[in-house]
Amino acid sequence: MTRWPTRAENVWRKESPRLKFSSRIPAAPEVVTVGFRLILAASAIWLVVIVFRVVLQNRSSEMAAVAAAARERGLPSSGPTALAIAWIAFITLVGIGLYVVLPTTSAFRVRNGRRGARIVLAAPTLLMLATVPGGNFFDYLPTTLMVSGTVLLFLPPSTAFLRRSRARRDGV
């Protein structure tokens, strides 16, 4: 009968023929795990906030203003309206990339022991800090979570973990 591992046993860190790289990464300290989870929570909240802002905001007055300005100049009103919709879609995708995808992938890389990902993670965090003034609760909450998670990943235990994982990767 196969014995299933207990919760205390770390199944993913054991040596395996298919996952040889997993044994080279030391176990992440609690600080890295908490920072990782805070960043994932912030990214999830940002995703929901961005989607709701695009879906729920009333853009009809803006579209009507664009169409009226086009009619004044003798242009067909459908062209500028389509351009405005394309611009909104572009800004939404850039926002999702900066506030959701980049922090999430960087958090996974830091948890796996990559030091350079902390700097990549700091860039959208600073951008969030620069854009949050004048916001509401749904701007402050994910920004606070992201800043907290990023600060945790720059603390000495996190740095020591990243140094150990680098030394193991390099074979030192």
Top mean pLDDT of 19-23, 27-31, 110-114, 148-152 is at 148-152
Please check whether residue 119 lies inside any domain of the structure.
yes
Task: Compute the Cα dihedral for 7, 12, 16, 22 and give only its sign.
Answer: negative
Query: What tens digit of pLDDT does each residue of 50-98 get?
Result: 888 887 776 666 667 777 777 787 766 666 667 777 788 888 899 899 8
Judged by average pLDDT, the poorest of 111-120, 126-135, 144-153 is 126-135
Q: What is the pLDDT of residue 58?
A: 61
Please check whether residue 20 lies inside any domain of the structure.
no
pLDDT at 11 over 90: no
Two structure tokens written together for 44: 């999830």
Q: What is the average pLDDT value for the chain, to the nearest integer?
A: 80
Please check whether residue 166 lies inside any domain of the structure.
no
- Report the percentage of the chain scoring pLDDT > 90: 33
Q: What is the pLDDT of residue 74?
A: 73
Please check whether residue 45 lies inside any domain of the structure.
yes
Choice between 166 and 153, residue whose per-residue pLDDT is larger: 153
Please check whether residue 97 lies inside any domain of the structure.
yes
Radius of gyration of the chain from its Cα atoms, rounded to whole angstroms: 22
Please check whether residue 96 lies inside any domain of the structure.
yes
Instruction: Write b or e for each residue in 89-113: b if 16 or more Cβ atoms lie within 10 A of its Cβ, otherwise e.
Output: eeeeeebbebbbebbbebbebbbeb
As a whole number of angstroms, the distance between CA 100 and CA 93 comes to: 10
Judged by average pLDDT, the poorest of 24-38, 95-109, 140-154 is 24-38
Please check whether residue 168 lies inside any domain of the structure.
no
Total residues found in the chain within this entry = 172
Choice between 142 and 20, residue whose per-residue pLDDT is larger: 142
Neighbours of 3 (CB within 10 A): 5
Query: What tens digit of pLDDT does each residue of 94-125 get?
Result: 989 988 999 999 999 999 888 889 999 999 89
Please check whether residue 52 lies inside any domain of the structure.
yes
The tally of domains found in the chain comes to: 1
pLDDT band per the 50, 70, 90 thresholds, residue 19:
very low
Tell me the residue range of the domain where 75 lies. Answer: 31-155
Task: Compute the Cα dihedral for 29, 32, 33, 34 and give only its sign.
Answer: positive
Q: What is the pLDDT of residue 9?
A: 54
